[in-house]
Structure 1
Amino acid sequence: MTAPRQLTATARHDGRWWLVSVPELDVVGQARAVRDIAPAAAEVAALHLNVPREDVDMHVTVHVSEEAERLWEEARQLEDEARAVQQRAAQLRREAVRLSRTDGYKLDAVAAAFGVTPGRIQQLAADPAAS
């Protein structure tokens, strides 16, 4: 038995139907609902290739409006940037604690200076991954 053929499909809403395209095969099918898109893509591909349905494995991308997709992507990028900024802030906090402790300040003094608990200062001082 051979591994199923890996194919990609895209789906775009068109009136009451979803148009399902399999670019590698230059074929198009239709689906009534989102849940029907992957089975429709697999069926169209299998028919085109003249193989059983089990011999195709579909990866489907569903599209909405370009504007909605652009907004979604912008949000994803902003989240990535926010994670990077949070990591940098955590790194700076650990460095501030390390510097304060190296300068001889006790846990309670560092905690009071930074407005956190002594336990939090211990976490930051002990664990480089603490944020």
Structure 2
Amino acid sequence: MITNYDVVAYRDGKWWTFEIPALTSPSPNTPGHPIVAMGQARTVADIAEEARDVIALWAEVDESSVSVEVSYRLPPAVQRALDDAKGLDAAGRAALDEAAALRRDAVRQLRTVSGLSQADSAAVLGLSRQRVQQLEATTRQ
């Protein structure tokens, strides 16, 4: 049986430090504050392997029975930029979807309401005849 562990990694000087939140033990010096299993890796590529080693030692299991999912704690400015970029990507995809729907509607109106041919519709809309054909086909679905 394979056990999955979440691993959180962050840059710490020249090293990547990682924590394994599922593996804790009580702190002997500060009751109520657990000690979290941690480790270090020189590169991002090494984090998963190093984390599996730490987990295998901590949990006293074979390393082959351990699977890890690594996430990264980024500096706040980097995380904000990444979140903003993801938001803009989503808004851009939504705008493209809306534009495609409007384009399909324009083709439908020209073809069915105005009775234009595919070639004339393509010329009026600035599209290729093949694209008008595609838009018309997706309108029917």
Where in structure 2 are the equivalents of 1:33-72 lying within 5 Å? 33-72=43-82
TM-score, structure 1 as length reference: 0.86
Residue 77 of structure 1 deviates from its aligned partner by 1.7
CA distance in 2, matches of 1:17, 1:112: 59
Q: Which residue of 1 is the match for residue 92 of structure 2?
A: 82
Q: Check if 1:123 corresponds to 2:134.
A: yes
Report the 3-state secondary structure (helix = DSSP H, G, I; strand = E; otherwise coil) of the residue aligned with 1:41.
helix
Residue 90 of structure 1 deviates from its aligned partner by 0.7
TM-score, structure 2 as length reference: 0.80
Counterpart residue identity of residue 9, structure 1: V
Q: Which residue of 1 is the match for residue 19 of structure 2?
A: 21
Counterpart residue identity of residue 94, structure 2: A
Q: Which residue of 1 is the match for residue 123 of structure 2?
A: 112
CA distance in 1, matches of 2:20, 2:70: 9
Percent sequence identity is 36
Counterpart residue identity of residue 11, structure 1: A
Contact 1:41 1:58 survives alignment (8 Å): yes
- Count of residues in correspondence between the two structures: 127
Report the 3-state secondary structure (helix = DSSP H, G, I; strand = E; otherwise coil) of the residue aligned with 2:139.
coil
Report the 3-state secondary structure (helix = DSSP H, G, I; strand = E; otherwise coil) of the residue aligned with 2:72.
strand
Contact 2:122 2:129 survives alignment (8 Å): yes
CA distance in 1, matches of 2:76, 2:111: 53
Contact 1:20 1:40 survives alignment (8 Å): no
Name segments (4+ residues, structure 1) moved above 4 Å.
none
